[in-house]
Amino acid sequence: MPDDLPAGLVMTEVKAELFKSIGHPARIQLLEMLADGAIAVSQLRDNTGLEPSNLSQHLGVLRRQRLIVPSRRNGRLFYELASPEVNALLAAARSLLGTLLHTPRLTLSPLEEAPREEALR
């Protein structure tokens, strides 16, 4: 990103990249699984059913975005969330979805529909 861009625009682009990185169901599933602590890659593979190469690609995306961090224990590779804020982001998404799914859709009153009907005449 060029240095001459306004800070708000740069932050917007960074946020977009963050949301793109979690914009796949498998990556959200992986993050949700890691919310309770570190998990071995073999367990992630078994619990998701992803092929090893596919799992590796998804973990790589999350790792490059610094959402997860690897560690080795007894020769096994583990991953865990990089910070509590990742878990907070997942919780905020669950909360938002709960609100959206239980909020009735807004309907227009007859007065609000009138101008649109007149425009169609």
* Residue 4: pLDDT over 90: no
pLDDT at 11: 86
CA 43, CA 117: separation in Å to the nearest integer? 58
Separate counts of helices (H) and strands (E) for the chain: 6, 3
Strands 68-73 and 39-40: unpaired
CA 114, CA 111: separation in Å to the nearest integer? 5
* Residue 93: pLDDT over 60: yes
β-strand partners of 77: 72
Q: What's the chain's average pLDDT?
A: 86
CATH topology of domain 7-120: Arc Repressor Mutant, subunit A (1.10.10)
Could you tell me which residues come within 8 angstroms of residue 42 by beta carbon, excluding any fewer than 6 positions away?
Answer: 76
Q: Distances in Å between the alpha carbon of 34 and those of 22, 29, 70, 109, 118?
A: 14, 9, 12, 46, 55
* Residue 113: pLDDT over 90: no
89 residue type, one letter: L
pLDDT tens digits, residue range 47-73? 999 999 999 999 999 999 999 999 999
pLDDT at 1: 47
pLDDT at 45: 96
* Residue 85: pLDDT over 90: yes
